[in-house]
Structure 1
C-alpha cells in the first residue's frame, strides 16, 4: 500500500504528556485568576492542536493510567515504590484533561490492571496489522521497543522540538542491532523512576556492549562465565533480578482492548462543552485557535454549583470572592447597554465647568486617559474619563491641537491639584505623564490598582481586564471592539469619534474605581498597606521623573563601534566559511545544522527540532565549542546580537532631545526589583570588553556635567549576614574585610593571607550560590568541578557558617506554615508549592523561600534610598538629576559645581536607607560616561 494513502493513527500517552507539560512550565507556571495552575491542561491542549492541525491524523485516541495496581505490581511489589507523590497541581489537572479529551470527542482507552503503554502497544500492533501508520506520542523512551515499519515513536522534548523515531532512528539512538533489544537494554540498566532494579552497576554503555556480544539478557546470563571481575560478579548475583527487570520493562501487546477503527476516527469537537471548559480555564488564546471569532466569557455559576471545574475555588481565591458584598451576574460585551450605567459625554465648556465643580466635592476620583500611543512621552491625549462612584462615568474629549486641549483641561486644574482628593488609576504613572505633557500637574494622594494588585499577588497578571474578571466578575469592553484587531488595519484612537469612545472610556474609569474598593482592604489584610503607600506609590512619581529626564547618548560613538563590529563579524564569517569548506547562511539554523551534523559530522546522533531539522540552539553549541568552527559561530552570534540589540538599536530609541528615555516597570518582577524596557537597562552587558563599549556611550548631558554612579556593595550578602545573625560574617563586614577572602579562609581552613585566587573564586561562587539555594549539582556546574567536591564545599560552608544553615532551615519551615515569605519591609512572595509532596516542585519553592526575602529586601532598600534622595534633592534646588536605576546602582547626571555635595549626601542617604545588623556600604564613582563612573 502506498504510504501516502495510509490511515494515520495517533495514540497519546495522556499521563506522560500531562507530567511533561506541567514540568516544562514549572519555572513560569500559568496561573489563572482563580489561583489554579493551568500549565498541564494548556500544554496538553497545545500538543493536541499541533497534532490535529499539522499532522492531520485520520484516527486518534488517548490512554491514561488508572489508579488501580497493575500486573507489574503483582510481579514485583516494589514496582514504582520510590516514586514521588504526584504534585497537587497535576492531581487537579488529570480530570480536567480528561474532560478536554472527551469534549474533543477523542476516545479515551483505559484498562484496569494495565498501564497506558500496554494499551497503546496493543492498539499500535493491531493498527499496524490493519494497514495503519501509527504514531505513539509520549516523552517515554520505553515505547522505542514498539516501533516497526509502520509504527513510530513521536517523542516531544521538554526543551521544545519533536523526535520521530522509526526502527532506523531507534537503533542509531540506542546503538543496538535489533529493536527487541530495547527491552533487554531497559532490563539490564533498570529504571530509577519506575524502581526497576536492573543489574547494579550496569549502565547504558556496559549494557550495549554486553548485548552486542551476547544478544539478550538470557544470552548474557548463559555466558556469565566469560565475563570478568566485578561485572561477572554483578551479573552472577543478579540473574533473577535481571530477568524480572526485563519482564517489568516489556510492554504488553495482548491487553484485552477492542481496536474499533470507526470509533477512532477524528471527529469535530463538542463546541458547547469545549467553549465552557476553555472559558472556565481562561484559555482565551486557545479558544480563538480552536473556534476563531468565539468571544471569551466568564462562566457564571448557578446557585449552589461549584465555581469551576476544579472542585471549587482554590483557597487563595475563595477569600477574595467571599469578601465581595455582591457578585454581579455575567456581563457580556454585547450586553453592556442592558446594565443601568450613568455614562455621559461631556462635550462643552459649560458642562466641563459643571463636572469640575462636581468632582471637587468628592474625596476619591478615578481617571483614565485615552491616547494615540503607548509611549507616555509621545502620546497625545484624545480624551479623559472620570468616575466617583460605581456605574458612573464622564468622558471629556480633547482636541489634538495642543492649545485647545490645554484650554479644556484648564477646567480641571483645581481638581488635579487638590491634595484632599485621592486620585485613582490603573498604571497611573502613564496617565500622569500624559497630562504632564500638557502642563497639567497631578498631585497626590494616589492609588494605583496595578501596583496594589502587584503587592497582593506579585506572581500574577495585573492588567485591568484580568483584575476586573477576578475581583468584579465583570468583563470590560475590549479595546479591539473600538479600534479593530491588532495589525496594520487597526485604527488609532484619534480616528474614533467621541460618541463611539465615551462608553468604553467611562467604563475604564468606573472599573478602576470599583477595583480600588476591592483591593484597598486586601492591602491591609495582607500587611502591605505601608509598603504600598510609603514605598511603591512615592517611587512611582520618581520613576516618572527619571523617564522624562532620560539620559544622553553618544550616538556617533555607537555608529563608529557598529562599523568595527561589522568588520569583526565579516572576519568571523570568512573564517567559518573556510572551516566549513563552503559558504552558507550562518544565521540559518537549517543550513547551519546541515553543515555541522551532515557535512562535518561533529556528533554521531544530533538532536532535532519538532520540524525535523537539526537543533542548533545555544545550549547545543555550548556543548560542542571545543570544535573551532563552533567557537567562531558562538562568537559570530554574540557580536551580531550585540550589534543589532544594542549598538544599532540604541540610537533609534533616542527622542528628539537626543536622549534615551527608558520605561521602568514596577509591577513585573515578583521579587520587587525594577525592570525596564526600550531599552532594557538591566541587560546591557558589562562583563566583556565589547559590552563595556555600550555603557561608554551613555554620557553626561554636556561639559558642565559629570556622571556619578552610586552602587551598593555586596548588598545581598550583607542582608544574608543580617538575616542569619552569623557572627563571623557580620564581623567580617564590620571590619571591612573582603568577604570572599574571609569566607575562603574559613571554608578551606587557611589564613586569609594564604587564600589564592582559585579559593576566592570558589568561595565567591558559594557565597552567592547559597543565597539562591544552590545544590551540589548546580555548584559543580558553575565551578566546573566534580559534584563530590561541590558537596564538600557546601558542607564545609555550613560547618563554618552554621547560622546561615539555620536561617535557611528556619525560613523554609516558617514558609511551610504560612505559605509565603517576607522582606524586612513586609513585601510578600507567595509559595503555593512549598508543601507539595513532589520534591522537585517543592525544592523550587524552597529555593525561592531562601532567596526572595534577601533579593526583595535589597530591592526595597534601593527604592527607599531613591525616595529619600529625591526628597532631599527637591529641597536643594539642584541642577543635578537622578537619571537611571540598574540593579543595585543609581546613576546621576551631576553638575560639576554640585559634585562633592551630591557624592557625600547620596552616599549617606543610601547607606542609611534602612538599618540592618551590618553596615550598608556604597561605592561612588565618577566619569564622563557610565563606564568610567561604574
Structure 2
C-alpha cells in the first residue's frame, strides 16, 4: 500500500503566501485553502496514493517547548487571515473523508515520522509531502519526501529518495539532524554551535560522518583552530540542538496505520463548503452537483405561456408586483418572469413575430418593475430591435460588482455560487436548440426558473448590502442609469474609414519591411525578430551587448530591457520601433478591420461596466481605451474614426487634469487648490514652488520633472522610479519627492491619513462611496503590503474621477434628449467623451457637453472640460 502523509501546516502556510489574496463574498479569506487543495489534488494525481493522511500542529506546547522555552520563540504568530482558514481546511478534509491527525504535545513532524516508520515496518510505501526540509531526515526505508517550494509564484514539487539526498548533501538523510545540530536553524531558534555556519558544518560531516564523529576527532588537524575552539565551547548547545532537531518517530499516536480507512466523501457537506468558498473549479473536479445538497433556493412552479392573450394578461397582472425577476437572452428568443412562486416561461417560436415584438414592448414599457442580471446586453438587443428598454429597476450583476469590485467575474452562475451557495444548471438561451420546439424547451424552462430564483435571492441580499454600505447614490444614480447609456452607445457605434485604415496598414507594412532589412544588416544575417530566444542570442551573444542575467528560458528582451540599452547599438531602437509598428498593424489596423459591422459600416465596441476595481470603464471587441496616443503614428489611428458624412462632426471634450483636481479637493491642500482656481498651469506652478523661482522663470525641464511627480505621487512613486523618469540620481529624486511633499503639505497628510484609515478599516472609498477592500495591507510580505498602500492612496482619486465621468455621461445623454437634439454620445475613453452631432447643432452640443461635464460634481478645484469639433477624432485634438 502507498500512503501519502501531508504536513498540513507547512502546505497551508506556503499556499497562503504563494497564492494571491482571495476571499469569498462574505469576506472570508480563501487563498490558503485554495492553494492547499491545488497541492493536494496535484499530488494525488502524481502519486496516486492508496490512502492520504494530513497531520497538523496543535496550539499546546510540545515536549520540545517544555524542555527549552526558546524553541521556536522567535517565530511570529499566524496572521489572522491564515488563522481564519485553518479550521476551514480541516472541515474540507473531513468532508473529503481523508484521515486527519493532530496530537497535543507533539508537532506534525513527529506524527509524520511515526506514521512513516509504522508504514515502512509493515512493508508499505510512504510519501511525505511538506515544505519543511527538516523532514528530509525521514528519507529511506520505504519513505520518500516530496518537497514543495514556491518561488516567484511558481510551485515546484521535488522528490527525495536516499540516492537523491546523497547526491545533494553528500551523506545519508539521517545525518541531516547532525547538520542542524552543528549549524543551527534560525527559523526554529535552534542554536547549533555558535559561529559554525553551513559550509563548515557540511565539511565536518563529510570528514567525520556524524556529530559524535566530529567530537571524537576534535584533535584532527582537518579541524581548524578557530572551529575547534567554537566546537569545544558549543558542545552542549550542539547536543541540545541535536535533540531539538530530531523528529520523534515514536509518538503515542492512536492510529492504525496498517488499516487506514478508505476515503469516504460526504458529497453534500463538501458541496456546501466548496460552494461557500466559491471554488467552482474544484466542485467540477470532484464531480459534485447541487443535486447532492439541500436546495438553497425555494421551489418554484414553472408554467409555459404559449398564447398571446394569456401572455398579455400575465404582463398586465405583473404591473401590480413589487419586483419581477426576469431572465432573457441577447437574441430575445425566450423570456422567464418570476413573480411569487411562479415562473412563467415564454418562447418566441410559440408566437407570431409581430406578437412577440408587441410582448417585448409591453414587458419593457416601464410599467413592470424588472430585476435582471447583466441587463446591458438585453437592453442593447432591445434597442437594436427598436424597443426602448424601460423598467429595469435593478441589475444584480452590477450590484455584486459595486459591493466587491475585485472578483474575477460576475456571471450569474458565479454570483449565485457566492450568494446562494447554489450551483445553477447550465443555460444557454442563445442556443437555437434550447428554445426550439424541437429541442429541450421543458428542460430550458426549468433551468430558467432556477436562474430567476437565483436572481431574486441575490437581489434580496445585494439590495440590502448596498443600503448598509452607503452605496445608494453610487448604485441608483450612477451605475444603474449608466447601463442604459452604454447600451445606446454600443448600438449606435462609431463610423470609420476602412480604406484609410487599409492605406495606413500599407504604410506600416512598408516601414516594417524597411526596418526588417536594417535589423538583418545590423545583425549580419537573418533571424526571427519575433523570437525572444533568437533575438536574445543576436543581441547578447553575437553583438555582445550588455545583458541581464541569463535565465533558464534565455535572455529577457522585454521593452524595459531594450530601452536601457537603446543607445548601445542602432539595432535596438530599430527593434523597438519594429515591435511598435507590428503591434499597430496586427492589433489595431487588422483588428479594427475585422470588427467593422457589415450592416452599417460602423464599429460597435462593448463597454465593460464590471471589470476594473477602481470603477473605470473598459471596452472590448475592439478595445478603444488603448488606442495609442503617445506616438504620432499611434495618434494617426484617430483619423480613421470619423463623422458619418459631411453633414456631421465629431465633438470631443476631455477633463483637464481631473485626477489632480480630485487630489486637490480630497487633500484640501490650499496651494494646489489655489493654483487650479487661478487657472495656473499646475505643473509650472508646482515647479515654481519646488524650485523656489518665479512662475515666469520655470524652464521646460523643471515643469517636466514636476509633471512626473504630480502624476506619480498618488501612485506611490518611488525615488527609484522618479529617478528613471526624470534622469537624475536616486538620491536627488528622493530629495525632490521630499521637497514636493513639503510644498504640498495637504497632499502629504492625505497620503499618510488614507494609508492609516485603510489599515484600520480594511478598505478605502471614493467620494461617492465606491468601496475597495484592501486585505493586502495586512500581509507580511513587504511587496504585497506596499502594493496595498499604493492602491489605498490611488483608488479614492482614480475611483472618484471614474465616478465623475460616469455622472457626466448620464447628464450629457439625458440633456441631449431633454433638449430634443439629435447629437449622441458614441465613445468614452478615460477622461474624454465624444459626440456625433449634426453640423447645425455643433455649437449647442459643444456648449452642452462642456457644461454638463464641468457641472458633474462641484469641487474646490473646479472641473474644467475643453471641447473641440472636427471631421475625425484626430481633428478634435
* 1:661, distance to aligned residue in structure 2 (A): 0.8
Q: Secondary structure at the match of 2:826?
A: strand
Distance 2:136 2:869 in 1: 63
For residue 87 of structure 2, the aligned residue among 77, 91, 95 is 95
Where does 1:552-567 land on structure 2 (aligned, <5 Å)?
552-563=495-506, 565=508
* 1:726, distance to aligned residue in structure 2 (A): 0.8
- Tell me if structure 1 keeps the 8 A contact 2:719–2:734: yes
- Tell me if structure 2 keeps the 8 A contact 1:577–1:583: no
- Tell me if structure 2 keeps the 8 A contact 1:468–1:515: yes
Residues 140 and 850 of structure 1, relative CA distance in 2, 3 Å threshold: farther
- Tell me if structure 1 keeps the 8 A contact 2:683–2:706: yes
1:390 matches 2:383: no
TM-superposition CA deviations, 1:398-449 (whole Å, max 9, x none): 1499xx423333256455324x543332222222232333332233463222
Distance 1:525 1:745 in 2: 46
Corresponding residue for residue 320 of structure 1: none
* 1:753, distance to aligned residue in structure 2 (A): 5.6
Distance 2:578 2:608 in 1: 32
For residue 307 of structure 2, the aligned residue among 329, 348, 355 is 348
Corresponding residue for residue 648 of structure 1: 590
Q: Secondary structure at the match of 1:682?
A: coil
- Tell me if structure 2 keeps the 8 A contact 1:707–1:930: yes
Q: Secondary structure at the match of 1:885?
A: strand
Which of these two proteins has the greater Rg computed from alpha carbons? 2
- Tell me if structure 2 keeps the 8 A contact 1:825–1:857: yes
* 1:516, distance to aligned residue in structure 2 (A): 3.8
* 1:914, distance to aligned residue in structure 2 (A): 0.9
For residue 455 of structure 1, the aligned residue among 397, 402, 423 is 402
Residues 107 and 788 of structure 1, relative CA distance in 2, 3 Å threshold: farther
* 1:766, distance to aligned residue in structure 2 (A): 3.2
- Tell me if structure 2 keeps the 8 A contact 1:117–1:251: no
- Tell me if structure 2 keeps the 8 A contact 1:60–1:264: no
Q: Secondary structure at the match of 1:393?
A: strand
1:536 matches 2:479: yes
Residues 299 and 152 of structure 1, relative CA distance in 2, 3 Å threshold: closer
Residues 483 and 884 of structure 1, relative CA distance in 2, 3 Å threshold: closer
How big is the alpha-carbon RMSD for the aligned residues of Structure 1 and Structure 2?
Answer: 5.8
TM-superposition CA deviations, 1:26-59 (whole Å, max 9, x none): 35x2x32443221111122223323333565789
Distance 1:249 1:852 in 2: 52
Distance 1:867 1:25 in 2: 39
Corresponding residue for residue 848 of structure 2: 905
Distance 1:390 1:818 in 2: 39
Residues 524 and 156 of structure 1, relative CA distance in 2, 3 Å threshold: closer
Q: Secondary structure at the match of 1:681?
A: coil
- Tell me if structure 1 keeps the 8 A contact 2:325–2:337: yes
TM-score, normalised to structure 2, is 0.78
Corresponding residue for residue 868 of structure 1: 811
Unaligned runs of 5+ in 1: 1-6, 227-235, 301-328, 485-489, 609-613
Residues 769 and 114 of structure 1, relative CA distance in 2, 3 Å threshold: farther
TM-superposition CA deviations, 1:245-301 (whole Å, max 9, x none): 99989994654368999779997674646555434433221122233xx3146955x
More moved, 59-68 vs 730-739: 59-68
- Tell me if structure 2 keeps the 8 A contact 1:868–1:909: yes
Corresponding residue for residue 701 of structure 1: 644
Residues 166 and 633 of structure 1, relative CA distance in 2, 3 Å threshold: farther
For residue 330 of structure 1, the aligned residue among 296, 299, 310 is 296
Where does 1:619-638 land on structure 2 (aligned, <5 Å)?
622=561, 626=565
* 1:677, distance to aligned residue in structure 2 (A): 1.9
Distance 1:508 1:48 in 2: 33
Residues 59 and 587 of structure 1, relative CA distance in 2, 3 Å threshold: farther
Where does 1:733-748 land on structure 2 (aligned, <5 Å)?
733-747=676-690
Corresponding residue for residue 665 of structure 2: 722
* 1:728, distance to aligned residue in structure 2 (A): 1.2
For residue 888 of structure 1, the aligned residue among 831, 848, 862 is 831
Q: Secondary structure at the match of 1:424?
A: strand
- Tell me if structure 1 keeps the 8 A contact 2:130–2:146: no
Distance 1:576 1:137 in 2: 52
Distance 2:309 2:857 in 1: 52
Residues 112 and 533 of structure 1, relative CA distance in 2, 3 Å threshold: closer
Q: Secondary structure at the match of 1:673?
A: coil
Corresponding residue for residue 873 of structure 2: 930
Distance 1:249 1:698 in 2: 75
Distance 1:763 1:246 in 2: 62
Where does 1:329-478 land on structure 2 (aligned, <5 Å)?
330=296, 339=299, 341-362=300-321, 364-369=323-328, 371=329, 376=330, 379=331, 381-387=332-338, 389-399=339-349, 404-411=352-359, 413-414=361-362, 416-418=364-366, 420-444=367-391, 446-460=393-407, 462-468=410-416, 471=419, 476-478=424-426
1:159 matches 2:153: yes
Distance 1:246 1:703 in 2: 93
For residue 24 of structure 2, the aligned residue among 27, 32, 52 is 32
TM-superposition CA deviations, 1:794-834 (whole Å, max 9, x none): 43333332222322333344445654433223333344666
Distance 2:520 2:177 in 1: 43
Where does 1:87-166 land on structure 2 (aligned, <5 Å)?
87-100=79-92, 155-160=149-154, 162=156
* 1:94, distance to aligned residue in structure 2 (A): 2.4
For residue 550 of structure 1, the aligned residue among 476, 493, 496 is 493
More moved, 848-857 vs 756-765: 756-765
Distance 2:350 2:517 in 1: 51
Distance 2:627 2:757 in 1: 37
- Tell me if structure 1 keeps the 8 A contact 2:139–2:145: yes
- Tell me if structure 1 keeps the 8 A contact 2:688–2:694: yes
Q: Secondary structure at the match of 2:635?
A: helix
For residue 770 of structure 2, the aligned residue among 818, 824, 827 is 827
Residues 108 and 679 of structure 1, relative CA distance in 2, 3 Å threshold: same
More moved, 781-790 vs 493-502: 781-790
Distance 1:241 1:760 in 2: 64
Distance 2:150 2:541 in 1: 23
Q: Secondary structure at the match of 1:892?
A: strand
* 1:919, distance to aligned residue in structure 2 (A): 1.6
Unaligned runs of 5+ in 2: 208-213
For residue 256 of structure 1, the aligned residue among 242, 246, 249 is 249
Residues 102 and 503 of structure 1, relative CA distance in 2, 3 Å threshold: closer
* 1:779, distance to aligned residue in structure 2 (A): 5.7
Q: Secondary structure at the match of 2:85?
A: helix
Distance 1:11 1:818 in 2: 40
TM-score, normalised to structure 1, is 0.74
Corresponding residue for residue 770 of structure 1: 713
- Tell me if structure 2 keeps the 8 A contact 1:297–1:475: no
For residue 738 of structure 2, the aligned residue among 770, 795, 807 is 795
TM-superposition CA deviations, 1:110-167 (whole Å, max 9, x none): 7888877898899999999999999986677999999999877553334336485999
Distance 1:33 1:125 in 2: 44
Distance 2:144 2:754 in 1: 55
1:288 matches 2:284: yes
Q: Secondary structure at the match of 2:398?
A: helix
Corresponding residue for residue 856 of structure 1: 799
Corresponding residue for residue 681 of structure 1: 624
Residues 280 and 342 of structure 1, relative CA distance in 2, 3 Å threshold: closer
